[in-house]
Amino acid sequence: MVQDSIRILQAQGHKATRPRKLVLEILEEMDRPLSPYDIQGVLRQRGKYLNHVTIYRVLDILCSLNLAHKMLSSGGFVRCSLDMAEGCHRFMVCQHCGAIREFADKELCQGENEFARNFGFHAEHHHSELAGLCSRCYRK
């Protein structure tokens, strides 16, 4: 919830400002990875405005506190989504329509962790992208 994130922000010495509340609201409501300009667009539709620089900075803070997570989308720009599964971010990206859907799974993480440990690597965060076709585009 937005209130929880705000509380964490404040506990870390950050202020509870209008831009931060707005960005958190949009991220929670849309429930999919959004770019800074996506967020600005949603706000514009609602007659609200935030400078893109501000959005970048809000997202940076959210990510630094692990409240959100960045992914680099195929367009080559950043998208952010709230961190719901503690360091496990898996995305299904449809190569046809571009739809992005996020999921999480602890067993997959464990499997990856074991594999990495064979190389002496200690994994903390998991980010995975599956490129393929979503159910709708597959039928065509």
Binding pattern for the stretch 109-128 against a copy of itself, x by CB under 8 A and - elsewhere: --xxx-xx--xxxxxxxxxx
User: How big is the CA angle at 32 (ends 15 and 116), to the nearest 5 degrees?
Assistant: 90
Residue 50 binding target from DNA, a copy of itself, none, CB below 5 to 8 Å by type: DNA
Contact between 37 and DNA (CB under 7 A)?
yes
Task: Tell which one of 1, 11, 47, 53 touches DNA (CB under 7 A).
Answer: 53
Structure-token pair, residue 123: 């994994």
Contact between 1 and DNA (CB under 7 A)?
no
Contact between 14 and DNA (CB under 7 A)?
yes
Question: Residue 2 burial by CB count (10 A; 0-12/13-18/19+): exposed, middle or buried?
Answer: middle
Contact between 76 and a copy of itself (CB under 8 A)?
yes
- Listed in sequence order, the residues at least 6 apart from 3 whose beta carbon sits closer than 8 Å to its beta carbon are none
Contact between 7 and DNA (CB under 7 A)?
no
- The DSSP secondary structure of 36-67, one letter per residue, reads HHHHHHHHHHTT----HHHHHHHHHHHHHTTS
To DNA, the closest distance from the beta carbon of 86 in angstroms equals: 24
Whether 69 contacts 27, CB under 8 Å: no
Contacts with a copy of itself by CB under 8 A lie at 72-73, 76, 78, 90, 92, 94-95, 101, 103, 105, 107-108, 111-113, 115-116, 119-135, 138
